Amino acid sequence: MSRRFRIEKDRLPDLPAMMLAIVEALRSIGGSASIQELDEKVIEQEGVTEAEQSYVMQRDENRSRVNYYLAWARTYLKRGGAIINSSRGIWSLTEHGSKIASYNDVQAIFQQVQLEERERAREKRIEQKLSAKEVDTTDIVEPRTDTEIPQNEPEGEENWKSVLLERLGAIAPDAFERLAQRLLREAGFTKVEVRGKSGDGGIDGVGVLRVNLVSFQVYFQCKKWKGSVGAKEIRDFRGAMQGRADKGILITTGHFTSQASEEATRDGATAIDLIDGDRLCDLLKENRLGISTEMIERVNIDHEWFGKI
């Protein structure tokens, strides 16, 4: 099957083609999937190369171009009523989405959503003019009518993670290793040591994980990278820990290619768990390591209630 889209360093991909690839991927895995499952399935079905997966966004080098534009493709499909997502981040086809059968179908959704976005943008500009007591709307400039992707974030994308990954990118490598050590301790590991010695095959530390009556020695490696970690790095790490540990964990501020994920769980080889930048942010948040959250109270007035007094 010929590929629907390609990822290049400095050109926008064919977004409707990515939308169609998402619909087909959802169909092939039963109609619902997490973001990671969905992205990996699209990458697998379309044969996206490791080189393409290594391209990052210019304004956010911690985010790969393919994952960024797949997020926008999901956003367009959602706004067009073709897919929905649950509070747990599971995406699924709607009745409308299940009927999509061709490129023309998704292109129609893409164009309709763009038309609605342009109209919303125009209305917002008019409101801004009116609020400034400039009631003449003849100077309202229509937005561009090409297919350029908006510069804000796709729906469901969390900007705080980009900020956090930038901060992590600024800390020293040994500090990042200590952060990994602290995170593993919070997760229940004991005897966690940071080694990080040159000539140790890239192994940065070791810890012991006890599960009921059984204990496992786990080696970990930290890669404070921007961009992608490929299958070669997984093989190198496994080679360094061969015969020395029961399991491995590779932690990065970047992301893993689909080939790296496959290599990490290859049959017959020592399993390696992968923690990418997105997952790392979630774990730091869950364990409140350098991150705090606050609930904002919102007061709503029940006008109907007062009217019944």
pLDDT tens digits for the chain (309 residues)?
A: 678 999 998 899 999 999 999 999 999 999 999 988 999 999 999 999 999 999 988 877 778 899 999 999 999 999 999 999 987 789 999 999 999 999 999 999 999 999 988 888 888 888 777 776 554 444 444 434 344 555 566 765 568 888 899 899 899 988 999 999 999 999 999 999 998 665 445 688 999 998 888 888 999 999 888 888 999 999 999 998 888 888 999 999 999 999 999 999 999 888 899 999 999 999 999 999 999 888 888 888 888 888 887
Return phi, psi of residue 208, to 5°. Answer: -120, 130
Task: Report how far residue 44's alpha carbon sits from residue 259's, in angstroms, rounded to the nearest whole number.
Answer: 9
Report yes or no: 62 and 166 within 8 Å, Cβ to Cβ: yes
Phi and psi at 181, nearest 5°, equal -60, -45
Please, how many CA atoms are within 13 Å of residue 207, restricted to the half-sphere of its CB?
A: 22
Contacts of 101 (CB under 8 A, 6+ apart): none
Output the CA torsion 166→286→255→231 (10° steps).
140
Cα(74)–Cα(113) distance, integer angstroms = 12
Q: Supply the pLDDT for residue 305.
A: 85
Strand, coil or helix: 27? helix
Look at the alpha carbons of 25, 29, 33, 34 in this order and tell me if their dihedral is positive or negative: negative
Instruction: Extract the tokens encoding 309.
Output: 């007094």
The pair phi, psi for residue 256, each rounded to 5°, is -105, 140
pLDDT at site 201 = 55
What is the rounded distance in angstroms from the CA atom of residue 84 to the CA atom of residue 38? 13
Domain boundaries, the chain: 1-156, 162-286
Measured between alpha carbons, how far is 88 from 65 in angstroms, rounded to an integer? 24
* Rg, the chain, Cα only: 23
What is the rounded distance in angstroms from the CA atom of residue 110 to the CA atom of residue 81? Answer: 11
10 Cβ contact partners less than 8 Å away, ≥ 6 residues apart = none
Write the pLDDT tens digit of every residue in 124-183. 888 777 776 554 444 444 434 344 555 566 765 568 888 899 899 899 988 999 999 999
The predicted pLDDT at position 308 comes to: 82
The rounded distance, in Å, linking the Cα atoms of 283 and 273 is 14
- Distance of alpha carbon 105 from alpha carbon 290, whole angstroms: 46
Residue 155: CB atoms within 10 A of its CB come to 13
Which architecture, in CATH terms, is 162-286?
3-Layer(aba) Sandwich (3.40)
**Residues 264 and 273: beta-carbon distance below 8 Å:** yes
